[in-house]
Chain A
């Protein structure tokens, strides 16, 4: 099975913002979306933590809460390595993806952020998707929407909206922080609409 992974503008932006909020850390998060045939559309994401080595308890807890809320819409995991030149797959991300596969009983996808493509004038896709093929993870196709919304993302970054983003770790430090980022998402949608 070869998936085509399409990441919508909102989760795409949120993932990038999560990377920008913690430039020196590895980041992890969950992907929400739906599968239709061989096409996976990622419609949302939930930032989990900003550690290169996330431990099981917060991950399990967050997965449980998110699975309780979204059920089978939990489609995978995204992550970024702490070291910008490191493009290897993170073991902890793989473990989490495997767990999601068993929980939702359908194969989970893995999205990696390519740190070196985060430069503002880079018009390549910053995300690379992987799927499990037997025992190993193989790269799959991503459907990249082009540079149009990347410009909207650039304004968002200039407004430093990434500082408003909260992940599950922030939530555990202070439960006032909303790791579903409802308010931030509204702002992102507004900015995207203003631009188009």
Chain B
């Protein structure tokens, strides 16, 4: 398994890093004993630190979850209904209206009214023009 290799790299480099810290402390301790001034760490300790640090970063980056594309959809769990809904264009001509008993009653009332109006319009067609206009106006306002 590839992940065991990366795990091994991580553990070894971590141990090596701890070892570096220990050697550095040892070096300072030795300097103090021999009463020499501290200039810098010995090259081998520095090299070991750098190498094990790089190895540690390499190992852990493979151990963690796989890399993700940096540009990511923020709302990835949004459902289709949510994404494709246009709430400010909502219209109310829908099935709940067709099912509501009140609106069903309203519908039949309107139909009756319309029938009455068309029949009354036929009657008044000859003489009373003003009433025809009035009734057509009221139809307009209902629509």
Direct contact of A and B (CB under 8 A): yes
What residues make up the interface of A, taking CB atoms closer than 8 Å to B? 19-20, 23-24, 50-51, 80, 82-85, 115-116, 118-121, 169-170, 172-174
Q: B141 within 8 Å of A by Cβ? A: no
Give the chain A neighbours of B100 by CB distance below 8 A.
119
11 pairs, CB–CB < 8 Å, chain A vs chain B: A20-B95, A24-B95, A80-B95, A84-B98, A85-B98, A116-B98, A119-B101, A120-B101, A169-B80, A170-B79, A172-B80
The one of A84, A173, A174 that contacts B95, using a Cβ cutoff of 8 Å: A84
B residues near A83, Cβ cutoff 8 Å: 93-94
B104 interface contact, C-beta 8 A: yes
Chain B positions 71 through 114: 1 when the CB is less than 8 Å from some CB of chain A, otherwise 0: 00000000111001000000001111111110010010000000
Main secondary structure of the interface of B (DSSP, over half): helix
Cβ of B13 to closest chain A Cβ, rounded Å: 41
Contact of A19 with B104 at beta-carbon distance under 8 Å, contacts A172-B80, A174-B79 already known? no
User: In the bound complex, how far is the Cα of B125 from the Cα of A84, in angstroms?
Assistant: 34
Could you say which residues of chain A place their CB within 8 Å of the CB of B94?
23-24, 82-84
Task: Check A23/B99 contact, CB under 8 A, given A82-B94, A173-B79, A174-B79.
Answer: yes
Residues facing A in B10-49 (CB within 8 A) are none
Residues of A within 8 A of B96 (CB): 23-24
Kindly name the residue among B94, B96, B101 whose own CB sees the greatest number of chain A CB atoms within 10 A.
B94
B residues with CB within 8 A of A? 79-81, 84, 93-101, 104, 107
Main secondary structure on chain A at its contact with chain B?
loop
| Nearest Cβ on chain A to B75's Cβ, whole angstroms | 13
How far is A29 from B101 in the complex, measured between Cα atoms in Å? 27
Report the minimum CB–CB distance from A132 to chain B (whole Å).
27
Contacts A173-B79, A173-B80 given: A19-B95 contact, CB under 8 Å? yes
